């Protein structure tokens, strides 16, 4: 770099006439081009895929989309550009002037000076047809192409925007993002069936194991976050988790992304509920604000009514009821439930949806669950014969439980008998003796209870 700069400085004085320099076309995404405020003939370059072609005697119209927005950019070119290669599905690079459009359907259009076909597409053989709405079952047959469709494109843009909103919310609130391990030796709190991890070579030589302890795909990063919360007051993780429950329903996925957070020095459930409500509203408002066209498409064709439901939730403060109040509401309901609501029995999805509907389709925090329904580490409320713990679930319309959380039990004289009842005393003593020893093949703490199953 130093030599090149010196060479340039040395050559400049030798030049008697200025060298003509052509200003390169600015590369724009379709989203940026459509939102451009200055349309005074700026030369730009847009790359994407042809969504439609319309050829007239003197003018050629193309609509180009690059996945950055639901709306496509109209390209206007001379009819001399027309060719068989400019077909639906072809990838192109268009250079020209971005000008104000005379049509009321769009604000700007690209007046083409150069069109280069980067990749051809046989429109007849292409599985998706212009102006034809294909069912999702059909799209699933083409995983390499389905993301080009409006429906899948909108869903992926919404998901991307929601992911960014989640990270931004936690960052703005002072949380530290932790990458918790995907391959782990622990089963966290026994959250479900596990996928065990072994190298493919084990099939040929089963007696040789890669890990010295059973290894699994993670079901939760909670244990690792709890360790980190001893050094950082606020931590979170947002990554893939895996459950091997062989249930064919949309609520049981083999792989899904989950947000988990741990906060130190929390004294009340109100602190947790504020974080939950803030996260929900921030992510929702960001998606509605930044993806209006995508949300509208989902509202019309994928999930009718969801947009209105989300806007209704944003306008209202979330409600708070106790588990005991929830059971009383369910017992007085005129609706017949598949599972009879009784105090001491966990709430099912049908119960959760009814509670939200009963409360005016506003998200509802249900707090103070029976101790017997929750893990041993949740804080005892010391509330007499009912015996509840400081746990909270956030129920939302159409889904049921969306968030769950609790205060941790910090009093050892409460934890000790619970560990004994759960058969975890020996595991806890072993773990203490190891002094948080790290296994050489894991970037994590190892839990090995007495029954030889990871915990």
User: Is the same domain home to 56 and 146?
Assistant: no
User: Do 51 and 98 lie in a common domain?
Assistant: yes
277, containing H or E segment: helix 269-290
- Residues 78, 41 share a domain: yes
* Predicted local confidence at residue 248, as pLDDT: 72
User: Is 80 exceeded by the pLDDT of residue 156?
Assistant: yes
Residues with Cβ < 8 Å from 395, sequence gap 6 or more? Answer: 352, 353, 355, 356, 363, 364, 365, 366, 401, 402
Number of folded domains that form the chain = 2
Give yes or no for residue 189 having a pLDDT over 80.
Answer: no
Whether residue 154 is found in the same domain as residue 67: no
Is residue 305 situated within a structural domain?
yes
* Separation of alpha carbons 290 and 119, rounded Å: 31
- Asked whether residue 435 carries a pLDDT value surpassing 60, the answer given is no
Residues 59, 174, single domain; the answer is no
In a domain, 214, yes or no: no
In this predicted model, what pLDDT tens digit does every residue of 22-41 receive, in sequence order? 566 789 999 999 998 777 77
Lowest mean pLDDT across 87-96, 209-218, 327-336, 339-348: 209-218
- Co-location of 281 and 159 in the same domain: yes
Buried b (16+ CB within 10 A) or exposed e, 138-159: ebeeeeeebebbebbbbbebbe
Q: Does 199 or 139 have the greater pLDDT score?
A: 139
Residue 311: which domain range?
134-180+221-315
- The CATH number of whichever domain residue 81 belongs to comes to 2.40.50.140
β-bridge pairing 183-184 and 26-27: unpaired
- Domain end among 315, 337, 363: 315
Model confidence pLDDT, tens digit, residues 279-313: 999 999 999 999 999 999 999 998 898 899 999 99
Q: How high is the pLDDT of residue 203? A: 60
Q: Is residue 150 part of a domain?
A: yes
For residues 261 and 170, membership in a common domain is answered with yes
E-assigned strand segments in 31-83 = 40-55, 59-65, 73-78
What CATH number is associated with residue 245? Answer: 3.30.930.10
Same domain as 168, residue 105? no
Asked if pLDDT for residue 82 goes beyond 70, the answer is yes
Kindly indicate the confidence band of residue 9, based on its pLDDT and cuts at 50, 70 and 90: very low
Q: Which of 315, 334, 352 is the last residue of a domain?
A: 315
Q: What is the pLDDT of residues 205-250, one digit of tens each?
A: 666 678 878 889 999 999 999 999 999 999 999 999 998 888 777 7
Q: Say how many C-beta atoms besides its own lie within 10 A of residue 88's C-beta.
A: 20
The verdict on residue 308 lying in a domain is yes
Residue 114 within any structural domain of the chain: yes
Helix (H) or strand (E) holding 228: helix 222-228
Same domain, 155 and 112: no
Check if the beta carbon of residue 176 is closer than 8 Å to that of residue 187: no
- Same domain (yes/no): 253, 164: yes
DSSP state of 445: B
Q: Do 42 and 99 lie in a common domain? A: yes
State the alpha helices, DSSP H only, in 51-111. none
Question: 272 is written with which tokens?
Answer: 């947790």
Instruction: Supply the pTM of this predicted model.
Output: 0.84
With respect to residue 95, please indicate whether it lies within any of the assigned structural domains.
Answer: yes
- In this prediction, residue 192 carries a pLDDT of 61
């Amino acid at each position: 770099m130093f030599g090149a700069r010196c060479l340039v400085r040395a050559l400049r004085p030798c030049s008697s006439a200025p060298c003509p320099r052509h200003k390169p076309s600015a590369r724009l995404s379709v989203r940026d081009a459509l939102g451009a405020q200055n349309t005074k003939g700026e030369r730009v370059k847009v790359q994407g895929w042809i969504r439609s072609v319309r050829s007239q005697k003197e003018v050629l119209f193309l609509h180009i989309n690059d996945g950055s927005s639901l709306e496509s950019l109209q390209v206007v070119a001379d009819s001399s550009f027309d060719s068989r290669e400019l077909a639906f599905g072809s990838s192109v690079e268009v250079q020209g002037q971005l000008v104000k459009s005379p049509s009321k359907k769009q604000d700007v259009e690209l007046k083409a000076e150069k069109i280069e076909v980067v990749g051809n597409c046989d429109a007849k053989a292409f599985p998706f047809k212009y102006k034809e709405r294909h069912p999702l079952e059909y799209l699933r047959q083409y995983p390499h192409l389905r993301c080009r469709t409006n429906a899948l494109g909108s869903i992926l843009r919404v998901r991307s925007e929601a992911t960014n909103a989640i990270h931004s919310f936690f960052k703005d609130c002072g949380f530290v993002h932790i990458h918790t391990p995907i391959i782990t030796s622990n089963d966290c709190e026994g959250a479900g069936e596990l996928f065990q991890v072994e190298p493919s070579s084990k099939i040929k030589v089963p007696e040789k194991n890669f890990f010295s302890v059973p290894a699994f795909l993670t079901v939760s990063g909670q244990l690792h976050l709890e360790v980190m919360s001893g050094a950082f007051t606020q931590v979170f993780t947002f990554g893939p988790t895996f459950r091997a429950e062989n249930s064919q329903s949309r609520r049981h996925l083999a792989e899904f992304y989950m947000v988990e957070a741990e906060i130190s020095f929390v004294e009340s459930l109100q602190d947790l509920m504020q974080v939950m409500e803030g996260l929900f509203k921030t992510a929702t408002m960001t998606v509605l604000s930044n993806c209006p066209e995508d949300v509208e498409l989902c509202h019309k064709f994928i999930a009718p009514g969801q947009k209105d439901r989300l806007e209704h939730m944003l306008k209202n403060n979330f409600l708070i009821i106790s588990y005991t109040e929830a059971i009383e509401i369910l017992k007085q309901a005129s609706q017949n439930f598949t599972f009879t609501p009784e105090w001491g029995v966990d709430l099912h999805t049908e119960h959760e949806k009814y509670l939200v509907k009963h409360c005016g389709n506003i998200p509802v925090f249900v707090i103070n669950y029976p101790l017997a329904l929750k893990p041993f580490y949740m804080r005892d409320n010391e509330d007499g014969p009912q015996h509840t713990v400081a746990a909270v679930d956030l129920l939302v319309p159409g889904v049921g439980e969306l968030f769950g959380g609790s205060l941790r039990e910090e009093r050892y004289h409460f934890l000790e008998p619970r560990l004994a009842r759960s058969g975890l005393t020996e595991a806890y003593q072993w773990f203490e003796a190891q002094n948080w020893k790290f296994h050489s093949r894991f970037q994590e703490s190892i839990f090995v209870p007495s029954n030889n199953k990871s915990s």
